[in-house]
Amino acid sequence: MPPFIRQYLMWFPMALIFEQARYGAFRSAPYEYVSPGYVAFWCTVLTYIGLVMMRRLRRRVAVR
């Protein structure tokens, strides 16, 4: 990606996950685009939000 697009793309955790996978498969890939802490933070936050939403919506779902 061109540098002006790459700086915005690096804010999205999904793009960083693919970069980590690429680095894991090809060790010659640049490590500068890998940020495990940032990805782990966003995975934790989004998982927590999903669990809270499931707890709130569970009352509205009827099991037959």
Instruction: Read off the pLDDT of residues 12-56 as tens digits, 9 standing for 90 and up.
Output: 888 888 888 888 788 777 777 778 888 899 999 999 999 999 999
> DSSP code of 58?
G
Angstrom distance (rounded) from CA 30 to CA 24: 11
With a CB cutoff of 8 Å and minimum separation 6, the contacts of 39 are 13, 16, 17, 20
Q: What total number of domains does the chain contain?
A: 1
Angstrom distance (rounded) from CA 15 to CA 13: 5
Domain that holds residue 11: 3-60
Q: Is the pLDDT of residue 64 over 80?
A: no
pLDDT for 53 equals 94
Angstrom distance (rounded) from CA 22 to CA 34: 10
Q: Is the pLDDT of residue 1 over 90?
A: no
pLDDT for 47 equals 96
